[in-house]
Amino acid sequence: MGTPADLDLSGAELHELEAALRDLGSPAFHARQIFQWIHKRGVTDVRLMTDLSRELREALATRFVLTTPDVVKTERSSDGTTKFLLRLSDGKQIEAVCIPEHPVGPTDVRDADRVTFCLSTQVGCAMGCAFCLTGKMGIDRNLTAAEIVGQVRVLGRELGVLDQRFTIVLMGMGEPLHNYDETMKALRILADERGLGMSPRRVTLSTVGVLPALERLATEPLMPNLAISLHSTTEEQRDLLVPINRKYGLKELLDACRRFPLKRRERITFEYVMLKNVNDTPDDARRLVRLLSDIKAKVNLLPLNEAAGIPFERPSDAAVDRFARILAERGLTVSVRKSRGRDIRAACGQLITETPRTATPGRRLALAMDAAGRS
């Protein structure tokens, strides 16, 4: 827990709030009230927490901070997807996205049966995947638990859906397991029944395979759904597409998935971005079947969302259908993700904010693939 001078009320777990209130001479139930105000009601000004005494509210405002990302810009897609550009307290910027379960009009998100919040966990990303715009930013810094949780509060407030059922995917900017402690702290805060009470079954964490952190995740009492960003069926190709594979290889990653604890009806989702003439062949599909044959798996195919700066092309619908059919005929559960929010650059792999960094890992990897004769 932080000291009273630096404790962010938004990023504190309930036991941390109780300890902070105890230092102020206040009983524990005041901590529960504050927690509910912030995480269930979305209130970010302690002076509006009207069931607390005026003296306590003044002490909270004086002694602590309560940070919430500021909305810089909002863009709405024709399918109802909404992208938020958010400014953090130090001026850094991130993006988060709200996706209705089924396409709706651009102004009636509240009419959706369910929405999904796609959250960021870092400013930028260090993974440098060749087909992802966020990777072009490089890594600036990790987000705090307060900044991760704050995205939920902002999206829910801005769209009027904080009191509705929604799901969360940690698939925005950043690699969640590269920011392990703050990401898991944020999930514990979101899961606390005195706040939003988010069931771990409504949260999906996506990772490219940071193995030490993945193995640590396997021991957590709070277990989100797991999605593995696979994208390739050979070590050599994955080295080029997903550079962390050079440190934690495909074989080691899949072995860790085999050991990962799953309940009877649970499966690991394997995400596979399809790149034209790179990883979309029938041979790739058949290798994928063999790789996953002894894992409780389902495959989510993602035809590339093309964008300037990404040196690959989207495969044809026929190639995607052929690939999916090979998987399905051999017993794998497979789905093809419908791209959402492409008209506002909110689709998978398209989140990027302004940065002074000039590294272009995707271009370098594409040239390496050309040299290796693989693209």
Question: Using CA atoms, how far apart are residues 200 and 261, in angstroms rounded to an integer?
Answer: 14
98 is catalytic: no
Instruction: Say which of 98, 118, 125, 348 is annotated catalytic.
Output: 348
- Residue 257: active-site member: no
Closest residue by Cα to residue 115 from 84, 74, 160, 57: 160
Amino acid letter, residue 140: D
Q: Are 242 and 126 in contact (CB under 8 A)?
A: no
Cβ(121)–Cβ(169) under 8 Å?
no
DSSP assignment of 264-290 equals TT--EEEEEEE-TTTS-SHHHHHHHHH
Nearest to 271 by CA among 237, 249, 303, 239: 303
Amino acid at residue number 168: I
Task: List beta partners, residue 84.
Answer: 74, 96
Q: What are phi and psi of 250, to 5 degrees?
A: -60, -45
Give the residue from 158, 81, 157 showing the smallest Cα distance to 351.
81
Backbone φ, ψ for residue 332 (5° rounding): -85, 140
Residues in the chain: 375
The pairing of beta strand 268-274 with beta strand 297-303: parallel
Residue 301 has what DSSP assignment? E
Residue with tokens 């941390």: 16
Q: Give the number of other Cβ atoms within 10 Å of residue 292's Cβ.
A: 23
Catalytic residue among 16, 18, 95, 147: 95
Residues with catalytic function: 95, 348
